[in-house]
Amino acid sequence: MVKREIINIDEEKCNGCGLCVPNCPEGALQIIDGKARLISDLFCDGLGACIGNCPEGAIFVEEREAEEYDEKKVMENIVKQGKNTIRAHLKHLEDHGADKYLKQAKEYLEEKGIENPTKEEHHMRGASCPGSRIMEFSKEENKVNEEGKRSSQLRQWPIQLHLISPNAPYFLGKDVLLAADCTAFSIGDFHKDFLKDKTLVIACPKLDSNIDVYVEKIRKMIDEAKINTLTVLVMEVPCCSGLLQIAKKALDRATRKIPIKLIVVGIKGDIIKEEWI
């Protein structure tokens, strides 16, 4: 047994819809007695691909004592499901920067003489992610009154999470907006509706690699800068849910407790969900 990140399922929230199951090619989840169940610690890599596919918010990542993840056992299960599942699993590992597991998976395929379906697909990196699907919106849908000019509500610089200092004076006792990079480009009135009177931090849970550093920076904002509230603004795409997990993990590690507000934005800029965590 080792202490590591692994998913947990809130049985009270889970309605047994099963949407998480096909999004876990590792085979760690099954619907049993009307609820999603983690059938084996060995199959769960803790990367949380299933989280964004749960409409009830019943799945989350926690750190606890668990059996160590076994990529070989996972691959034994993966290859039985065919080429498309192998591809999905390898892209899942690659997208989350799980280089160690990705290397083990590729070595397993090579040892067994099984074709690696992603070898010729690196130029299409990220195409398997729902958030990467190509879409074009009608200009008619976006017609608004563009008269007048609004002032920027940005209160500080820098704003990228890996560049900021959590003890900077503009964080002290303030309300902080932790926004996924894409949100400001999706929301027409981002400054007026979400940034006003808040200190801004931006990050991308899919493309950024400093997850542990991010958790510690937010913890310091909570404990040392004593921020007042934290609003997490994310897109509806599954990979974006990781930003909320970073915020939750920071709050768990912090000695102070502050309210966290989650706002989920649709890809056309509409607000899908707004709730206090």
The tens digit of pLDDT for each residue in 32-71 reads 888 889 888 888 888 777 776 787 888 888 888 888 888 8
CATH of the domain at 100: 3.30.70.20
Is 98 in the same domain as 190? no
CATH of the domain at 213: 3.40.50
pLDDT at res. 146: 60
Is 175 in the same domain as 105? no
State yes or no: pLDDT of 257 exceeds 90. yes
Span 142-184, pLDDT tens digits: 455 566 677 889 888 889 998 888 888 889 999 999 999 999 9
Is pTM beyond 0.85? Reply is no
Q: What is the residue range of 205's domain?
A: 152-276
pLDDT at res. 123: 45
Span 104-152, pLDDT tens digits: 999 999 999 998 888 755 544 444 455 555 455 455 554 555 666 778 8
Number of domains present in the structure of the chain: 2
Tell me the C-alpha distance between 179 and 236, whole Å: 13
Is 17 in the same domain as 76? yes
